Chains A and B, each alone.
Chain A
Amino acid sequence: MSRLRHLLGIAELSREEILKILETAQKFREVLDRPIPVVPALRGKTIALLFFEPSTRTATSFNLAASRLSAQCVNFAVALSSVKKGETLLDTARNIEAMRVDGLVIRHAFAGAAHFLAQRLKAFVVNAGDGCHEHPTQALLDAFTLREHFGTLEGKRVLIVGDIAHSRVARSNILCFNKLGAKVAVCGPATLLPPYVEELGCEVFYRLDRILYEVDVVSMLRVQAERIGASLFPSLREYRQLYGLTRERLAKLDPKVVITHPGPVNWGVELDYDVSDLPQTLIMNQVKNGVAVRMAVLFLLAGGQEGAE
């Protein structure tokens, strides 16, 4: 296994690399439960967060992960930056790198933004979401959470429901779960399923009730109003009835089936509020584990130095 230089997508990772990240994250999970949940592993390192799209969880989670490793973290607030004056992505990144930053965590509306910077910068690059392409740390924390619950993903049946077409989470998750041996199915209205999605390695369903009661994991996606320009389904109410995990569907679902959601949840659309307090709902575990997984990613990318013995 060669040294990990960047984390751009799950597509670029081997099964072994995924497992190495997850196993390292397992050790960081313990660090988070210590009286002082901070280790000095990345002292002297500086990490910049470049979020060109809004985020609560991911930005906070990366920020905390860096802090808990004793790295310094600078938050680049796009709204107040020269991006508003027309500075290009590359110039922005180069200027930040020139201030001796070791790594960049970037979220951008354009697919391939992280790859573009990785080819041009010396700093390591972590993709925190690029357009509708990939969101690898979300997939890794989902895999971590499910492994924590089941022990393994081998042979588990995972159903991803919702807006697959606009979802970088779905894409990364399908790739990641497949590499870990799970069987993946996707379900959503035809207008929200990308053509050839089955090529990613998943079964496709258009009717939720056909597949819902046959899986071990239900992963609900957010209806992303900001990405759905034209109207791709008639109404939120109809969406809820056809594709939402409603109180009625919940009542028929085996309590052994676990429910995940990458957040933020549109309560009453993809999930009924009844789900929030159920023991089989792993949404808060996902958030908690996100910090450990991002610590592992930052540690593996920033720890050690290229060219050293």
Chain B
Amino acid sequence: MRRRILSAQKVTELIDRLAEEIGRRNQDRKDLALVGIKRRGVPLAKRLAARLGNCPVGAIDITLYRDDLQLVAEAPIVRGSEIGFDITGKTLVLVDDVIFTGRTVRAALSELLDYGRPREIQLAVLVDRGHRELPIQPDFVGRRIETRRDDLVDIYLQETDGRDEVVLTRR
């Protein structure tokens, strides 16, 4: 069963609201920077940055920091990270499309700390679908969705998929 959870218009509204909240919490921060988690966290980070005005955006690929590399059959594709600024002392907002088990965010935090020592890291996600396996919670959430563990939540974004939409598939 496939069900559309968020329309294109709703996605835009949520991003507007996320940007507003991030901006409010970091009003006096001149050193704000966004880091999107590949792949769909990156276009989201860019859209947030456009609304926040003038803050650098990096992209992080967590493949080499995954905790299940020993469990997969084949070495996964390494997409590479691109963080073109020094993160030490900065206030970073880590951005991803969905938070689920929290393992991706754990990997991203480990990787970021190898790049430098930011003053603070906050977490923003478009969708929180629950079922955390690690004690990690986002600071900014677009929408919380009730899901079963084996549901699929697919995020489609204009930049990567040609349209904005969030779809839940129940198996």
Binding site for A on B (CB under 8 A): 61, 63-65, 69-82, 110-111, 114-116
B115 to chain A, nearest CB (A): 6
Q: Other than the known A27-B80, A303-B76, what 8 A-B pairs have Cβ atoms closer than 8 Å?
A: A3-B73, A34-B114, A38-B114, A69-B64, A302-B75, A303-B69, A303-B74, A305-B71
* Distance A307 CA – B142 CA, assembled complex (angstroms): 39
Residue of B nearest to A31 (CB): B64
Determine whether the beta carbon of A24 is less than 8 Å from that of B78. Answer: yes
Residue of B nearest to A306 (CB): B73
State whether A305 and B72 are in contact (beta carbons under 8 Å apart), knowing that A24-B78, A26-B80, A30-B82 are contacts in the complex: yes
User: Which one, A39-47, A79-87, A177-185, A253-261, is touching chain B?
Assistant: A39-47
* Distance A41 CA – B70 CA, assembled complex (angstroms): 9
Q: A38 — which chain B residues lie within 8 A by C-beta?
A: 114
Residue of A nearest to B110 (CB): A40
Q: A28 — which chain B residues lie within 8 A by C-beta?
A: 78
* Distance A34 CA – B58 CA, assembled complex (angstroms): 14
14 A-B pairs whose Cβ atoms sit less than 8 Å apart in the complex: A3-B74, A27-B61, A36-B115, A38-B114, A40-B110, A299-B64, A301-B75, A304-B69, A304-B70, A304-B74, A304-B75, A309-B71, A309-B72, A309-B73
Q: A303 — which chain B residues lie within 8 A by C-beta?
A: 69, 72, 74-76
A67 to chain B, nearest CB (A): 14
Determine whether the beta carbon of A39 is less than 8 Å from that of B70. Answer: no
* Distance A39 CA – B65 CA, assembled complex (angstroms): 7
B64 to chain A, nearest CB (A): 4
Q: B80 — which chain A residues lie within 8 A by C-beta?
A: 26-27, 30
The interface residues of chain A, by DSSP majority, are classed as loop
A45 to chain B, nearest CB (A): 9
Q: Identify the 6 closest CB pairs spanning chains A and B, nearest first.
A: A303-B75, A27-B80, A39-B64, A41-B64, A27-B78, A36-B114
Q: B70 — which chain A residues lie within 8 A by C-beta?
A: 44, 304-305
Determine whether the beta carbon of B114 is less than 8 Å from that of A304. Answer: no
Residue of B nearest to A37 (CB): B114
* Distance A27 CA – B60 CA, assembled complex (angstroms): 12
State whether A308 and B78 are in contact (beta carbons under 8 Å apart), knowing that A35-B116, A40-B64, A40-B65 are contacts in the complex: no
8 A Cβ contacts from A60-95 to B: 69
Determine whether the beta carbon of B115 is less than 8 Å from that of A35. Answer: yes
Q: B115 — which chain A residues lie within 8 A by C-beta?
A: 34-36
8 A Cβ contacts from A1-58 to B: 3, 24, 26-28, 30-31, 34-36, 38-42, 44
B84 to chain A, nearest CB (A): 11
Residue of B nearest to A24 (CB): B78
> Does A300 have its Cβ within 8 Å of any Cβ on chain B?
yes
Q: A69 — which chain B residues lie within 8 A by C-beta?
A: 64
* Distance A3 CA – B22 CA, assembled complex (angstroms): 44
Q: A31 — which chain B residues lie within 8 A by C-beta?
A: 64
* Distance A34 CA – B76 CA, assembled complex (angstroms): 21
State whether A308 and B65 are in contact (beta carbons under 8 Å apart), knowing that A27-B78, A30-B80 are contacts in the complex: no
State whether A308 and B81 are in contact (beta carbons under 8 Å apart), knowing that A35-B114, A36-B114, A39-B65 are contacts in the complex: no
Q: B81 — which chain A residues lie within 8 A by C-beta?
A: 30
Q: B71 — which chain A residues lie within 8 A by C-beta?
A: 305, 308-309
Q: B78 — which chain A residues lie within 8 A by C-beta?
A: 24, 27-28, 299
Residue of A nearest to B88 (CB): A35
* Distance A26 CA – B77 CA, assembled complex (angstroms): 12
A28 to chain B, nearest CB (A): 7
* Distance A301 CA – B75 CA, assembled complex (angstroms): 8
Q: A301 — which chain B residues lie within 8 A by C-beta?
A: 75
* Distance A300 CA – B65 CA, assembled complex (angstroms): 15
A114 to chain B, nearest CB (A): 20
Select B73's contact among A39, A44, A305, beta carbons within 8 Å: A305
Q: How does the 8 Å CB contact mask read for A261-298 relative to B, with 1 for contact and 0 for none?
A: 00000000000000000000000000000000000000
Q: A299 — which chain B residues lie within 8 A by C-beta?
A: 64, 75, 78
B8 to chain A, nearest CB (A): 33
Q: A3 — which chain B residues lie within 8 A by C-beta?
A: 73-74
State whether A304 and B73 are in contact (beta carbons under 8 Å apart), knowing that A24-B78, A299-B78 are contacts in the complex: yes
